[in-house]
Structure 1
Amino acid sequence: MKRVAVVVLNWNGWRDTLACIASLQKLNYPNFELIVVDNGSTDGSHAHIEAHFPGIKVLQTGFNLGFGGGCNAGIRRALERGADYVWLINSDATVDVNALTELVRVAEEQALVGAVGSVLYEADQPEQIQLWGGGKVHLGTGLSRHQTRPAQLDFVSGASMLLRREALEQVGLFDDQTFFMYWEDSDLGFRLRQGGWQLAVAEKSCVWHKLSASLGKGSRQLDVYFTQSGVRFLRRYSPVPAVSVFMMVGRMLMKRVLTAEFGRARSVLDGYLRA
């Protein structure tokens, strides 16, 4: 039975993380260890987590490294401990008892698969599919779409992503120097495919996920990070970056202006200028 390290990244969200850990402890996969990473929280998260789960020693980064940087801290610890696979699962998610077993089964059946995603459902609408494993990116227009039905993927979502050790050793971890938050999973998906690895979805791996729980839907800071990372991603991969960046930023600005969200429009511009 392959050894799996399950990495949960917490940032000022210990209540969600406790629920996530509780669901992970019910997994029926027999050979996994749990690595909880605290990404520089200021709400006493590590103390709350360790108090509720005395067997867990939280790995503390000391300050906020961003999503990719925080996950990388857990991935490195997992690889040091000899994990064959690393499962990244968002702290604002809960999982089905079979979720990890199904992820590993799909990976073991397909030796060229470097990353496997789950089917994510809305936490407040448990039957509603939020995301089918990951998404697609149209490099010409800068449009990134999450899939909600079976399709060939360009990337697997970092909300639930099983990564093969050999694939990580070949292409590297998240690029946390370029992407502080958002688009880092898209970048990793593109690098995996460029390296000859395939992406897959375990249809019976079910996860219930709160969308944008860390920053909140409609957050201005979300707009800054999403735009900044999106521009950097398109400049790296788009055949004509000037056009795709213009179209992506233009769509975001128009949407916010039409809904009179002028503060969020300024955040989009700020993200573009920071890129």
Structure 2
Amino acid sequence: MKENYPLVSIVSVNYKQQQYTEAFLESLTHISYPNYEVILVDNASGNFDRKRIEDNYPETIIIESEENLGFAGGNNLGMRAASGKYFMLLNNDTEVEPDFLEPIVELMEKKPIIGLVSPKIKYSEGNNLIQYAGTIDINPITLRGGKLGHLKEDDGTYDRVYEVPFANGAAMMISRALFELTEGMLEDYFLYYEETDWSQRIRNLGYKIYYQGKSTVYHKESASVGSVSPLKSFYMSRNRLLYGYRNIKGLNKWLSIIYTVFVAYPFHTLKLFLSRDWELIVAQWKGVFAFLQMKKH
């Protein structure tokens, strides 16, 4: 029976979150898909208890990075070690439904033109609210997009399959062949926007991005860095500009950068000033200057 199912490599990255990682690994022990491996990358946490994972989840393949490679680098490291036909990337702060893999693999097998697939992602608090049911495309000037189904009750409306512009980095599947073709996510991003850039590059190659609403993953959103933090503010600020620079073409590229730096960010700074979020103001503008200093390719 196992031979009838393509091998799926489930890849996840841990960084100083072992309690979430163990809950994640425990949820994987209940999945119904019969042919998978689990690869866990520790991103130089410093306090990683490898023996505890080996004792409780002995089938897990553990890779310990000597440095923090970020989200993109950690996942790329795990995928390079994977054996599967398909790679399922899952945040370590997610938990899954037992049958979440079958609909995704079935969709990938039926439609080779698909590059990435993300499932329905719900908040883990038990309030039945959707975090992700697909996206709308990013505006080439404002660099703003949007999520379908966000904060809506899961009443079955999004239990469908459809094409979307971008996958969600918390849970997405790619084939080994396409990973090798694209060489993975761009590690310059380090944190945030890397899956958006990857989705765009994959679309540029002629592949499609899909949402599979018959599969469900639960996400403890922003458990790593907090829903709002200086770390998140820095990388979101820097990487929004980097995404625009890399993916918007012609005059719109420069219009998007001008709009973001001279309109969107000052307006956001004003809101932060009124709420006295000084650390977030500093982090945001550090992100802008970091973008300006980056070597871009």
Sort the TM-score into its range (normalised by shorter chain): over 0.9
SS of the residue 2:138 aligns to:
strand
- Which range moves more in the overlay, 125-134 or 195-204? 125-134
Could you list the per-position Cα deviations for residues 139-160 of structure 1 after superposition, in whole angstroms to 9, with x for gaps in the alignment? 2102132332767522101100
**Are 1:36 and 2:44 matched, yes or no?**
no
**Are 1:253 and 2:263 matched, yes or no?**
no
Q: Which residue of 1 aligns with 2:153?
A: none
Q: Which residue of 2 aligns with 1:50?
A: 54
Q: Which residue of 2 aligns with 1:228?
A: 238
SS of the residue 2:149 aligns to:
coil
Extract unaligned runs of 5+ from structure 2: 151-157, 292-297
- Which range moves more in the overlay, 164-173 or 223-232? 164-173
Q: Which residue of 2 aligns with 1:215?
A: 225
- Output the CA distance in 2 between the equivalents of 1:52 and 1:22: 9
Deviation, 1:135, is 5.4
Aligned 8 A contact 2:42 2:48 in 1:
no
Could you list the per-position Cα deviations for residues 218-256 of structure 1 after superposition, in whole angstroms to 9, with x for gaps in the alignment? 211111111111111111122233334324433532332
- Which range moves more in the overlay, 151-160 or 63-72? 151-160
- Output the CA distance in 1 between the equivalents of 2:247 and 2:46: 36
Corresponding residue to 2:286 among 267, 270, 275: 270
Q: Which residue of 1 aligns with 2:183?
A: 172
Q: Which amino acid aligns with 2:100?
A: A
**Are 1:21 and 2:31 matched, yes or no?**
no
Extract unaligned runs of 5+ from structure 1: none
Aligned 8 A contact 1:39 1:61 in 2:
yes
Aligned 8 A contact 2:10 2:39 in 1:
yes
SS of the residue 1:54 aligns to:
coil
- Output the CA distance in 1 between the equivalents of 2:207 and 2:277: 41
- Output the CA distance in 2 between the equivalents of 1:152 and 1:113: 9
Number of positions where the alignment pairs a residue of Structure 1 with one of Structure 2: 271
Corresponding residue to 1:68 among 55, 69, 72: 72
Aligned 8 A contact 2:118 2:212 in 1:
yes
- Output the CA distance in 2 between the equivalents of 1:156 and 1:68: 14
Q: Which residue of 1 aligns with 2:295?
A: none
SS of the residue 1:130 aligns to:
strand
SS of the residue 2:128 aligns to:
strand
Q: Which residue of 1 aligns with 2:142?
A: 141
Matches within 5 A, 1:41-120: 41-78=45-82, 81=83, 83-120=84-121
Q: Which residue of 2 aligns with 1:240?
A: 253
Aligned 8 A contact 2:163 2:211 in 1:
no
Name segments (4+ residues, structure 1) moved above 6 Å. none
Q: TM-score, normalised by structure 1?
A: 0.92
- Output the CA distance in 2 between the equivalents of 1:182 and 1:135: 17
- Output the CA distance in 1 between the equivalents of 2:120 and 2:177: 24
- Output the CA distance in 2 between the equivalents of 1:240 and 1:165: 32
Corresponding residue to 1:192 among 192, 196, 202: 202
- Output the CA distance in 1 between the equivalents of 2:216 and 2:85: 21
- Output the CA distance in 2 between the equivalents of 1:123 and 1:165: 29
**Are 1:161 and 2:176 matched, yes or no?**
no
SS of the residue 2:238 aligns to:
helix
- Output the CA distance in 2 between the equivalents of 1:39 and 1:134: 29
Which structure's CA Rg is the greater one? 2
SS of the residue 1:62 aligns to:
coil
Q: TM-score, normalised by structure 2?
A: 0.86
Q: Which amino acid aligns with 1:169?
A: E
Aligned 8 A contact 1:93 1:208 in 2:
yes
Q: Which amino acid aligns with 1:114?
A: G
Q: Which residue of 1 aligns with 2:6?
A: 2
Q: Which amino acid aligns with 1:5?
A: S
Aligned 8 A contact 2:135 2:145 in 1:
no
> What percentage of aligned pairs have identical amino acids?
26
Aligned 8 A contact 1:14 1:48 in 2:
no
- Which range moves more in the overlay, 57-66 or 140-149? 140-149
Q: Which has a greater percent of strand?
A: 1
